[in-house]
Amino acid sequence: MSTGVRGQWSSKLGFILAAAGSAIGLGNIWRFPYVTGENGGAAFVFVYLACVLVIGVPYMYAELALGRAVQKNPVGAIDRLRPNSSWILVGVLGVVTGLFILSYYAVIAGWTFGYIFKMVIPNWLTFGEFVSRPVLVIFLYTVFMLLTIFVVHGGIRGGIERWTTILMPVMFFLLLGLIVYVNFLPGSGKGLAFYLAPDFSKITGKVILSALGQAFFSLSLGMGLMVTYASYISKEDNLVSSGLFVALADTAIAIMAGLIIFPALFAMGQDPAAGPGLVFNVLPAVFEHMPGGTVVGVVFFVLLSIAALTSTISLLEVPTAYLVDNRGTARKVAVWIVGILVFLLGLPSALSQGAVSWLSQPIVGDMEFLSLMDFLFGNISLAVGALFLSIFVGWVWGATNASEELATGNPKFKKWAPLWSFLIRFICPASIFIILLNLFKFF
């Protein structure tokens, strides 16, 4: 296998673990359960699965094909295929989105990291007190950014691949242990029913749209991340099966997170629709009342920190790859430039949970600074990016070229190419357009 000037994953498994590491994160363990809880449980899970299969996976193939064909970050890839066209803006949007998502995501990841220690200090701070301490949150945020910079600094094989191959399996087994534990608690069965027995009358337009949005965020789609990660895949590898495996792993971890959280919540008589505070607010309270809860709590937040780290690494990699590919910056320099820029961008988010009052006020609707960032970049930007990238791949570069790339390393794909072309040219853009309409209705 060749090692060019650019890095390359050492094996197919290296890519799968790194891409799954990117996909699996706070989106699966923190966001998926609370969105499920708010949207009525099992029916939402059902719609979510359909969205992943019909829209998420086909769209992921578009990003993978583009990335491996051109071997560049999203800006470089589009520039190569349509030089000096305004399509470049779609790539730029991806890089910028990466910077901004990382800026607030690392703040939440910092809390997660801090909660490991909070679990062993009884009656220390409530969630509200915890996130409003400026020195504490900035310290945790700094630690998390440094960890992220450290890994990306090491490059593709020695950094990202090496660490994700260790961290991902550890996380999987920690989750498995927790599932077994909480499902032995008395009363947990009601949680399982809420989570797994669908009441289809609960499916509404809002449920479908939340499920679509969650699928994009969770699979790390819409900002060219899979374009970048696919640029390090060898031509011999099978993109189709790798992508499918990443989607399966991401979905499995989200489902597993629900298998922990809902049984635990119902066993403790808590409300599943508690919103974004579910993991930070409700779960520690649940752990407190459980025998052996301190250990379970520590394990849980270690796990969430690991999941978040493999995602922050990937978010840092996209702008870094842009500087390395397009500006010729040395990787080790690029990582620090991006890391410091992101750090500064994230400070207002870190201080927006009560530490600085004007940042903590609602700015648009009921959203303070951090929520606004999540809405703008974690929702709108990803949807806009995915809309234009699916049009770019389906119509501009062309579904035929993309299909050929997908068939490289997997000749059997040819049979599926017509179906995939239809999905990427019509179904993906149309359904993403509907998500966007729903987002704008918000204003």
* Contacts to ligand PHE by CB under 6 A: 22-23, 25-28, 101, 217-218, 220, 223, 225, 311, 314-315
Q: For ligand PHE, give the closer residue by CB, 22 or 188.
A: 22
Q: How far is the CB of 311 from ligand PHE (least distance, A)?
A: 4
In whole angstroms, the minimum distance from the beta carbon of 217 to ligand PHE comes to 5
Q: Are residues 367 and 375 in contact, defined by beta-carbon separation less than 8 angstroms?
A: yes
Q: Which residues are within 8 A (CB) of 240 and not within 5 positions of it... i.e. 6 or more apart? A: 61, 406, 410, 413, 416
Q: Tokens in use for 256?
A: 């597993």
User: Which tokens sit at 125?
Assistant: 């701070």
Distances (CA, A) of 139 to 142, 288, 309, 339, 406: 5, 26, 16, 15, 44
Which residues fall within 8 angstroms of residue 409, CB to CB, at 6 or more apart? 235, 236, 237, 238, 239
* 10 vs 112 by CB, closer to ligand PHE: 112
Non-local CB neighbours of 248 within 8 Å, separated by 6+ positions:
none
SS3 277: helix
Per DSSP, 97 falls in state H
> Min. distance of Cβ 294 from ligand PHE in angstroms?
26
Nearest residue to ligand PHE on Cβ basis:
27
**CB-wise, 214 or 431, nearer to ligand PHE?**
214
Q: At what angle do helices 428-441 and 205-218 cross, to 10 degrees?
A: 110
- SS3 state at 70: helix
Q: How far is it, in rounded angstroms, from Cα 97 to Cα 189?
A: 40
Distance CA 230, CA 400 (A): 18
The DSSP code for 237 is S
Cβ closest to ligand PHE, residue 164 vs residue 218: 218
Between 214 and 403, CB nearer to ligand PHE: 214
Crossing angle of helices 239-267 and 12-23, in 10° steps, is 40
Residue nearer to ligand PHE on the CB measure, 138 or 221: 221
Which is nearer to ligand PHE, 174 or 290 (by Cβ)?
174
Report, in Å, the least distance between residue 160 CB and ligand PHE. 13
Q: Which is nearer to ligand PHE, 59 or 181 (CB)?
A: 59
CA distance 86 to 132: 42
Q: In 3D, which of 230, 231, 221, 220 has the Cα closest to residue 326?
A: 231
CB atoms within 10 A of CB 90: 24
Taking the complex as a whole, how short is the minimal distance between the CB of residue 257 and ligand PHE, in angstroms?
A: 11
CB of 193 to ligand PHE, least distance (A): 26
Q: What are phi and psi of 154, to 5 degrees?
A: -75, -5
Q: Minimum Å distance from CB 78 to ligand PHE?
A: 18
Nearest approach, Cβ of 12 to ligand PHE (angstroms)? 21
By beta-carbon proximity to ligand PHE, the closer residue of 140 and 254 is 254
254 or 391, CB closer to ligand PHE?
254
User: From the centroid of its chain, how far is CA 138?
Assistant: 22
Q: Least separation, in Å, of the C-beta of 353 and ligand PHE?
A: 19
* Phi, psi (deg, nearest 5) at residue 367: -95, 125
* Shortest Å distance, C-beta 410 to ligand PHE: 25
